[in-house]
Chain A
Amino acid sequence: MKQVKGKVLSNREVKPGYFLMSVECPPVARAARPGQFLTIRCGDSAEPLLRRPFGFHGVEGGSFRILYEVLGKGTAKLSSAKAGDTLDILGPLGKGFMVPEGRKNIVIIAGGIGVAPLAFLAEEILKDKKKCVSVIIGARGRNSLLCREHFEGLGIKTLVATDDGSCGRRCFATDLLERSIAGKKPSETVVYACGPSPMLKTAANAAKKRGIEAYGSFEEYIACGVGACLGCAIRTKSGYKLICKDGPVFKLEEMIW
C-alpha cells in the first residue's frame, strides 16, 4: 500500500457515462492483484471531499486501468482528466480474489459496472491454461453493456443478459448463472460475482443450492481505505467486517443479507 502520484495516459468514454482510464503508476500497478482496489483524490478542494474507490480493471507493466461509471461529483471530475494529468493514488488496498485449488470451471457473473474488477480476474485466471472460464454479463441495455468484446477477445464464452433485451437475452444475469452452473461438479467449480447487492444475493443462493463455492466483491462508501475509520462495515456471519481491509471480496455464504 502506497500513496503516490500517477500520470494519466488516457481517459476515454467507452459507452455513454462510462470511462476507461489508464494510469502510469508502477509502484501500485506492480503490486495490484485482481479484486484489490485503489482510491483517487478527485480534485484538490473540499468538493468532492473524500477519495473515490475503484477496483483494478487491468494491469500492464507499470500502468493500471480503471473502468468507471460517472455517478456523482467525484467521478464527474475524474472524467474530465486528460492524458498527462497527475493523480493522487492510494493503493493497492484490500484483499483480492482467492482462487481455490483444483477448480477448473470458473464462472464469472457481472452486473453493470461490477464487470470492471472481474475482467482483471479473468485475465489472471486464463494464465493457467487448464482453467475453463465462462462469463455472464448483465446490463440495463446495449448502451451500458461493458467488456463483452474484451472477454470474447480473450477467447472466453460470454453470455449477455439485458433488462430491455437490446442485447443478449432479456432476463437477469442470475437466470443465466442458474443454467450455467446446473451441470457442473461443485468440487471443480467456483463462482465470482460483482454487481448490485440483489444480484449478489441471488447469485449466492444459486451457488449455495448446488454446493458451489462463490465469492463476491462488495461496495460501500469508503473514507480511509486502510481499516482505520471503521466506516465501511458490512454484516457477516462472523460479525462486522471492513470492506476496505477484510474485503472487498468475501465468500458469499458468509454474508448476512
Chain B
Amino acid sequence: MVKPSMKVRIGGLELKNPVMAASGTFGSGEEYKGLVDLNGLGAIVTKSVTLKAREGNPPPRMVETPSGMLNSIGIQNDGVDAFIKDKMPFLDKLKTAVVVSIAGHCLEDYARLAAKIDKVKGADAIEINISCPNVKGGLEFSREPGSAADVVRAVRRSTRKPVITKLSPNVKDISEIALAAQEAGTDAVSLVNTFTGMAIDIGSRMPVLGNIVGGLSGPAIKPIALRMVWETARRVRVPVIGMGGIMGSDDALEFIIAGASAVQVGTANFVDPSSMAGIIRGIERYMRDRKIKDIKELTGCLKT
C-alpha cells in the first residue's frame, strides 16, 4: 500500500504531518538537537517571546501532581529582538515548519511583535498566546470574546503570515472565544493551554510554586481538553489544533477524531523526548492498518 498522506494545512501553512511541538515545552528546538529528529516534526512552536526581555517567575516554578505537572515559568525570555538574532538562524535551517509564539501586555505589543515576526525569514506562522496563566494579565485577552477578537485583529493587520490563536481553557465557553477569533481573522485556533491550579506543602503550609498558582498540564487534563476540542471543532470553520495531555499516538488520534486537524505535544516531551516521533509513527500505522489514505479523512470523523 502507498504511504498514507499525513500532510495537513493550517491556513496557508502546510505541515508534513500533524504533530507539532507545543510552545514552552521545546525551547527553540535547538535544545533538543541531537536528541530528536527535528526535521521529522510537523512543526515547532517556539517558546513565547515578548517585546522586552522577561526574567520570569520566582522558583520553584514546577512541580509534579497526580498524572500531571504544574508550571509557573512566567514567560522568561530575552525579548523578541534577541530571539530573532540568536534563535532564528538555527530554526531557519530546519526543514520543518516554524511557528513563533508571541505574548503581549496590550494590543500594541501584539501588533508590534507580529510586525517584527512578519519580516523574519524562517518564521512560517505566528501563534498568538493570549492564554498564559502565569503572567499578570496573561489571561485577560482570552477571557472574553471581544478582547480575544481585538488581539487577533491587531495581529492580523500586522502580518500576512498564517495566524494561530492559542486559547485558554479557563473560560466559561471556549468555543465562543474560538468563534470570535475566527470572525477576527485567525487562520486556526489551538487549544487548550494549561488549566490554572495549585499545590500546597502541608508541612510548611506554603504554596509549592513561587508564583502560588500555575498551569496544569499532562494526562490529568486530557479528557477535559478533548471535550473542549470537540465542542470547538463543531462550531468553527477554521482548523483546530488540539492539545492537552497527549502522550502517545492513541491520544493524538482521539483529538483528531474529535475534530483536530493537527495536534501539539507538550508535557510528553519532558517524559520522553522521543514521544513525537512515536506519535507520528503510531498515527501512520493506524492509517495503514485501516487503509486510510489521507489524514484529513480522520479529522472530525467521530461517530455519535
Contacts and interface: CB of A to CB of B under 8 A. Distances in A.
Interface of A: 1-3, 41, 46-51, 88, 90, 220-221, 223-235, 239-240
A81 B212 CA distance: 36
B4 interface: no
Contacts of B35: 1-3, 90, 226
Contact of A221 (B55, B63, B220, B274): B63
A79 B110 CA distance: 50
Interface in B30-78: 31-32, 34-35, 47, 55-56, 58-64, 66-69, 71, 73, 76
B71 A88 contact: no
Contact of A50 (B56, B61, B64): B64
B73 A228 contact: no
Interface of B: 24-27, 31-32, 34-35, 47, 55-56, 58-64, 66-69, 71, 73, 76, 218-220, 247, 267, 269-274
B17 to A, nearest CB: 21
A226 B31 contact: yes
Contact of B59 (A46, A48, A234): A234
Nearest to A242: B76
A47 B67 contact: yes
A47 B68 CA distance: 9
A49 B221 CA distance: 13
A230 B34 contact: no
B69 A49 contact: yes
Contacts of A221: 60, 62-64
B27 A227 contact: yes
A50 B69 contact: yes
Given A221-B64, A224-B269, A230-B76, A240 B32 contact: no
Given A3-B274, A228-B25, A49 B59 contact: no
A46 B218 CA distance: 8
A233 B61 contact: yes
A48 B69 CA distance: 10
Given A46-B219, A229-B25, 14 more contacts: A3-B35, A46-B68, A49-B69, A49-B218, A88-B272, A90-B35, A221-B62, A227-B31, A228-B25, A228-B31, A230-B76, A233-B61, A233-B73, A235-B59
Which interface residue of A41, A47, A220, A221 has the most chain B CB atoms within 10 A? A221
A224 B270 contact: yes
8 contacts: A1-B34, A47-B66, A51-B270, A51-B271, A228-B26, A229-B24, A232-B62, A235-B58
A74 B265 CA distance: 23
Contacts of A234: 59
Which interface residue of B25, B60, B62, B218 has the most chain A CB atoms within 10 A? B62
A49 B56 CA distance: 24
Contact of B61 (A2, A51, A232): A232
Given A2-B35, A233-B76, A223 B71 contact: yes
A228 B44 CA distance: 13
Contacts of B62: 221, 223, 229, 231-232
Contacts of B59: 220, 232-235, 240
Contacts of B247: 46
B137 to A, nearest CB: 20
B243 to A, nearest CB: 16
A50 B73 CA distance: 17
A228 B272 contact: no
Contacts of A46: 67-68, 218-220, 247
B55 A41 contact: no
A229 B73 contact: yes
Nearest to A224: B270
Contacts of A3: 35, 272-274
Contacts of B68: 46, 49
B219 A41 contact: no
B195 to A, nearest CB: 16
Contacts of B56: 230, 233, 240
B71 A50 contact: no
Contacts of A220: 59-60
